[in-house]
Chains A and B, each alone.
Chain A
Amino acid sequence: MKHRLFATALAALTVAAGAGVVLADGSGDPAAVKNEDGKYYDKDGNPTYKIQSDGTVDWYTYSGYRRYHSECHVCHGPDGEGSTYAPGLKNSLKTMSYADFLGVVMGGRKNVNTAQENVMPAFGTNPNVACFVDDMFVYLRARANDAWGRVRPSKHEDKPAAATQAESSCMGGKS
């Protein structure tokens, strides 16, 4: 069974490569090239994850895990895996760019037709989401790239002072 699965995966990869559309990450190469106060960015300036070989994750991946499992998982399922109700964001981010992700989270989206009635609310006014949208993106990007599995990060970098400041100013002193 394992062999067959592997062969299928390989075939799929070959087909994709042949067509020249390998899209593992909708925001491009996720490799971190810059570290600004504990927040990592890829070569295009999109936020990204940084996971060390001993399993230590950057603060934003860890924070994103927590925020995702508070705000998003009641529709999108545990670990970005999807549900009977909403798509698995782990897969969505394989084709969705950072900018599109921000747009949908902040502004919502409607996908209502005869076969389905999917509605994503606008979270732009919800500080519990809006203030942590990068954290969620970074965590889900790690999931999309299989850089992080279906498990809670057990070790993480310390919370950067910049994160604490951003959080308190964004939450308007509410947190």
Chain B
Amino acid sequence: MRYLLLTACLGAAAMFAGGAQANDELQKMSQNPKDWVMPTGDYANTRYSHLKQINAGNVNKLQVAWTFSTGVLRGHEGGPLVVGDIMYLHGPFPNPVYALDLAHENKILWKYEPKQDPNVIPVMCCDTVNRGLAYADGKIFLHQADTTLVALDAKTGKVVWSAKNGDPSKGQTGTSAPMVVKDKVLVGISGGEFGVQCHVTAYDLKSGKQVWRAFSEGPDDQILVDPAATTELGKPVGKDSSLKTWQGDQWKIGGGCTWGWISYDPALNLFYYGSGNPSTWNPKQRPGDNKWSMTVWARNPDTGMAKWVYQMTPHDEWDFDGVNEMILADQNIGGTSRKTLVHFDRNGLGYTLDRTNGELLVAEKYDPKVNWTTGVDMNKSSPTYGRPKVVDQYSTEHNGEDHNTKGVCPAALGSKDEQPAAYSPDTGLFYVPTNHVCMDYEPFKVSYTAGQPYVGATLSMYPPQGESHMGNFIAWDGKTGKIVWSNKEQFSVWSGALATAGGVVFYGTLEGYLKAVDAKTGKELYKFKTPSGIIGNVMTYEHGGKQYVAILSGVGGWAGIGLAAGLTDPTAGLGAVGGYAGLRNYTALGGQLTVFALPGS
């Protein structure tokens, strides 16, 4: 620990020497709407673009401008970066990276493809996805499936440095996009279904040297929490805040993985992310609140120390990972302008918090079908303040092992998974791609073996009773916690949204459509069917005076596993075939970028 502290101090000192510069550079670049320099669009994770050449009046004239195949047939999550004349595009395992020259007919400037042991494939829960690249300081950063974090020279694709972030033989894998903050590259890790003690780690931008590592569960010096200064809902968390909530050494295989998105507020010097499900999926086997899984974290990027935490789903019983993006937006709540953080959790609740201190402002269901909870206790003087009130009928802890708890909404997929929402400051609304799926969940005892799945529950999924659509694309008011409009989709919407100053919101569908809708009303303005189902995130950029919209196709991810064959109909009798539409009747594997623009030069 002393060593760690020393390193942290040195890191902080180095930051003043050169790192702050990188931060300024990136921040400035992210404000140029022609570029798309971060996987999340901007530090605030708004996925909003000021470009408006394509707008609600002309988006129906959109045409395909050019296409590009990644050469991989797997689930394609994330989206490309654009920095000046160059587009940087990634793919799923084996994780190729392409630099495309936008000034010369998108010619391949360089390609990087790491040599990785294919044994990492089966320890990647739910497909070999990768959520994208980061750029800073003339380098491109990639978190490979085998957890190697690699820095590539943005001009040549040559490896500048590489660091090992985990060990795939223990079920640790890399799927998330790195994020550069100041002089550090921040990166999470996957493996919640393999009993990994997950963490966020900071690497030095210049050298790739590890600066600090903050686990999601464990002793205070491992989770980088100050018992007196780190708060939850305004109160210090106290000593051993995580250890006290696990039985024995279970925190060592506790999960809490960190494979979602990272946002950053430069003025507060805090970055935000969520931790995932506690391992195993059998709640009976891990008594306690299992802190700090399922938690919103606010940390200082220089030291990694946590300023505040908020655990959304204490003692998870349904696999409701808390990893979804934290969108930073300043909103007027009850007549006061607040620096807020808005988060659409897997558990089906949309949270609005004060991001300066973690105060809970709003927690409401963003799918009316959510039934495992009656809501969050908002009474500040209540002993259960901030906790969700769990309905016994849908509590797999209450019903116990070897009992099939039926009809829980949402399913383990969550009302939303990693597919990020967008926020438009023009309308003040959040645009949220959602899943509309329920489940049966039966936990049972499992034993832990390093590098092997550690799941412990059987589940089957289906649309809410009496309905057949499995997704909605909604507009959400984060000030009040209300749905403003909602469009039905046949399948879960597993694509990250894009909002633009043109009054248009874009998203993809699992059948493969890129769709454009009116930001105010949700009215569909345009759609085009790309070669494969979409689980990627829409982005936009401007080149040569023209605005482009780009999306990765390539069906897969958890959506490709759960929905390919169609969901199970729990009410069907003996010998029934799938009761609901199967994705495989609509689309097949692919791996392609489709880029759209308006006709004419």
Q: How far is the CA of A126 from the CA of B128 in the complex (A)?
A: 22
| Residue B459, interface by CB 8 Å | yes
**Residue in A67, A69, A73, A85 with the greatest tally of chain B CB atoms within 10 Å:** A85
Residues A174 and B447 in contact, CB atoms below 8 Å apart: yes
Interface secondary structure of A, over-half rule: loop
Residues A70 and B457 in contact, CB atoms below 8 Å apart: yes
Q: Which of B444-460 contact A (CB under 8 A)?
A: 444-447, 449, 452-460
Residues A70 and B575 in contact, CB atoms below 8 Å apart: no
| Residue A171, interface by CB 8 Å | yes
Bits for A119-138, please: 1 = Cβ < 8 Å to B, else 0. Answer: 11101011111000000000
What size tier do the contact residues of chain B reach?
35 or more
Q: How far is the CA of A66 from the CA of B403 in the complex (A)?
A: 11
Residues B127 and A70 in contact, CB atoms below 8 Å apart: no
Q: How far is the CA of A123 from the CA of B569 in the complex (A)?
A: 30
Q: Give chain A nearest CB distance to B470 CB in angstroms.
A: 13
Q: Which of A76-129 contact B (CB under 8 A)?
A: 77-79, 81-85, 88, 108, 110, 112, 115-121, 123, 125-129
| Residue A160, interface by CB 8 Å | no
- CB-CB under 8 A for A121 and B562, given A84-B556, A152-B570: no
Q: How far is the CA of A77 from the CA of B568 in the complex (A)?
A: 11
Residues B574 and A55 in contact, CB atoms below 8 Å apart: yes
Residues B555 and A84 in contact, CB atoms below 8 Å apart: yes
Residues A151 and B569 in contact, CB atoms below 8 Å apart: yes
Residues B458 and A84 in contact, CB atoms below 8 Å apart: no
Task: List, in ascending order, chain A residues with CB within 8 A of B146's CB.
Answer: none
Residues B127 and A85 in contact, CB atoms below 8 Å apart: yes
| Residue B119, interface by CB 8 Å | yes
| Residue A24, interface by CB 8 Å | no
**Residue in A69, A115, A116, A151 with the greatest tally of chain B CB atoms within 10 Å:** A151
Residues B122 and A119 in contact, CB atoms below 8 Å apart: yes
Q: Give chain B nearest CB distance to A90 CB in angstroms.
A: 9
| Residue A166, interface by CB 8 Å | no
Tally the A-B contacts, defined by beta carbons under 8 Å.
Answer: 141
Q: Contact partner of B568 among A78, A82, A126, CB < 8 A?
A: A78
| Residue A13, interface by CB 8 Å | no
Residues A75 and B122 in contact, CB atoms below 8 Å apart: yes
Task: List, in ascending order, chain A residues with CB within 8 A of B449's CB.
Answer: 125-128
Q: Contact partner of B458 among A70, A83, A127, A149, CB < 8 A?
A: A70
What size tier do the contact residues of chain A reach?
35 or more
Residues B576 and A150 in contact, CB atoms below 8 Å apart: yes
| Residue A49, interface by CB 8 Å | no
Q: How far is the CA of A132 from the CA of B505 in the complex (A)?
A: 49
Q: Contact partner of A71 among B119, B455, B569, CB < 8 A?
A: B455
| Residue A41, interface by CB 8 Å | no
Binding site for B on A (CB under 8 A): 55, 65-67, 69-71, 73-75, 77-79, 81-85, 88, 108, 110, 112, 115-121, 123, 125-129, 146, 148-152, 171-172, 174-175
- Beyond A85-B126, A129-B452, A149-B576, 18 additional contacts (C-beta under 8 Å) are A65-B458, A69-B459, A70-B458, A79-B565, A82-B565, A83-B561, A84-B74, A84-B564, A119-B118, A121-B119, A121-B122, A126-B449, A128-B447, A128-B454, A148-B575, A149-B575, A151-B569, A151-B574
28 example contacts (A-B, Cβ-Cβ < 8 A) are as follows: A55-B574, A74-B561, A77-B561, A81-B565, A83-B565, A84-B74, A85-B126, A85-B127, A85-B556, A108-B122, A110-B118, A117-B121, A117-B128, A119-B119, A121-B119, A121-B452, A123-B452, A128-B446, A128-B452, A129-B452, A149-B575, A150-B578, A151-B572, A152-B460, A152-B568, A171-B447, A172-B447, A175-B445
Closest 10 CB pairs of A and B: A84-B560, A81-B565, A174-B447, A121-B122, A126-B452, A83-B561, A69-B458, A119-B121, A149-B575, A66-B458
